[in-house]
Structure 1
């Protein structure tokens, strides 16, 4: 049985063009300025990713976890970071359907 890796591969090496839970955490951390956009989190351990998730969640809680509640500058930054990532992932074959399968 193969063991799970104990280090993250980095958002630029992640599956589905980085459209994973960890990839979303990283992009949101970029939006909120928690880490620089040059930080891919390559070789981070799961404790580091979890710590980043907690910081990202703290920021989202300020806005009710809704993009529509972000102030204009953060909403623009969210669009600037997430839209190209989604387009790139779709071009690579990601559809996003498995993220919404439960919403029937």
Structure 2
């Protein structure tokens, strides 16, 4: 054992809780939506600094559309709808319930 803390890395959206229904999973999905990453990129092994840079890039792009999906250009909006529809279907298969997440932060 080296005594040095292990660098934490992301498990990848495909291994993330309920298929990526987490804040970090949302960053990956947003990167796919805006075409910053191919949809085959899970971000497995990425460290916090790299994820922060991706978050910053996606936030800049969302800001251009006032953080509203209905303001996205048609091609990006269609990709957004498809990615989220597929993500929610996968999450439900894994036992995710959107209603169960509503009160989680209130405990």
- What is the TM-score when the length of structure 1 is the normalising length? 0.87
Aligned to 2:72: 70
Aligned to 1:10: 12
Deviation (angstroms), 1:74: 0.7
Name segments (4+ residues, structure 1) moved above 4 Å.
none
Aligned to 1:89: 91
Whole-angstrom CA distance in 1 between matches of 2:7 and 2:71: 36
- Max Rg structure: 2
Residue correspondences, number:
100
Deviation (angstroms), 1:82: 1.2
Whole-angstrom CA distance in 2 between matches of 1:57 and 1:45: 18
- What is the TM-score when the length of structure 2 is the normalising length? 0.85
Deviation (angstroms), 1:31: 0.5
CA RMSD of aligned residues (A): 1.8
Structure 1 unaligned blocks of 5 or more: none
Deviation (angstroms), 1:100: 3.4
